[in-house]
Amino acid sequence: MSPFTLDLFADTEPEPPPKREQIGEQACVLRGFALPWLDSLLTALEEVLAVAPFRQMVTPGGFTMSVALSSCGALGWTTDRSGYKYTRNDPQTGQPWPKMPDVFFELAKAAAREAGFTDFVPDSCLINRYVPGAKMSLHQDKDEGSYAAPIVSVSLGLPATFLFGGFERSDKSQRVPLLHGDIVVWGGVDRLRYHGVLPIKDGHHPRLGEQRINFTFRKAG
């Protein structure tokens, strides 16, 4: 009897992949968690970008980032030759960053709660746009006023390979595939782990085209 015949008469069906995957003691991937919110998220995103369009910022070292950024919420993350920082106003317009849409806020809280962080109240959402070839080098999120709250990172559009490392840049990183609708949450003992994104591969997503959109929610103030 061939292996294919054996599979046909197997007693059990293959188990579907878990919806929650632990990648650290207090870090996990919530597979497809954002999908039920998708239409509302994309509508709200358009409204935010109408006020604060994507732009490619310059790092303190003088390098232009391959990822385009925007922000919403009480505080927005920016970078220029003077350093990395959170600001209350968009430096490009001088106006306050757009209010965080309710659907953003509620999704971030729901994902954090699912991951075991019940009191998360985000005040900042960094929005990243990756096109094929764009990447994010290994870094720690340490510009926030406190590290007590988790990071909630939502992936939409093209797939990505998320690097989740240790507490030193030289530590070995896990390579975690992220698909449309996946959310990564990390906090507690894992809060200051290095993380990044490998260059996005060419592709076309039926809803978002040739791009990956990433929302990263934080308690910055």
Binding residues for Fe cation: 139, 141, 195
Given a contact cutoff of 8 angstroms between Cβ atoms, the answer to whether 120 and 50 are in contact is no
Given a contact cutoff of 8 angstroms between Cβ atoms, the answer to whether 201 and 159 are in contact is yes
Residue 129, SS3?
strand
Residue 122, SS3?
coil
Q: Which residues carry a binding-site annotation?
A: 77, 84-86, 128-130, 139, 141, 143, 169, 195, 212-218
Q: Determine which helix (DSSP H) or strand (DSSP E) holds 41, and give its type and residue range.
A: helix 38-51
Q: Which residues carry a binding-site annotation for 2-oxoglutarate?
A: 128-130, 212-218
Q: Determine which helix (DSSP H) or strand (DSSP E) holds 23, and give its type and residue range.
A: strand 20-24
Residue 159, SS3?
coil
Q: Which residues carry a binding-site annotation for substrate?
A: 77, 84-86, 143, 169
d(CA 119, CA 113): 8
Dmax of the chain from CA atoms?
72
84-139-219-66 Cα dihedral, nearest 10 degrees:
60
> Angle at the Cα of 219 (from 216 to 221), degrees rounded to 5?
130
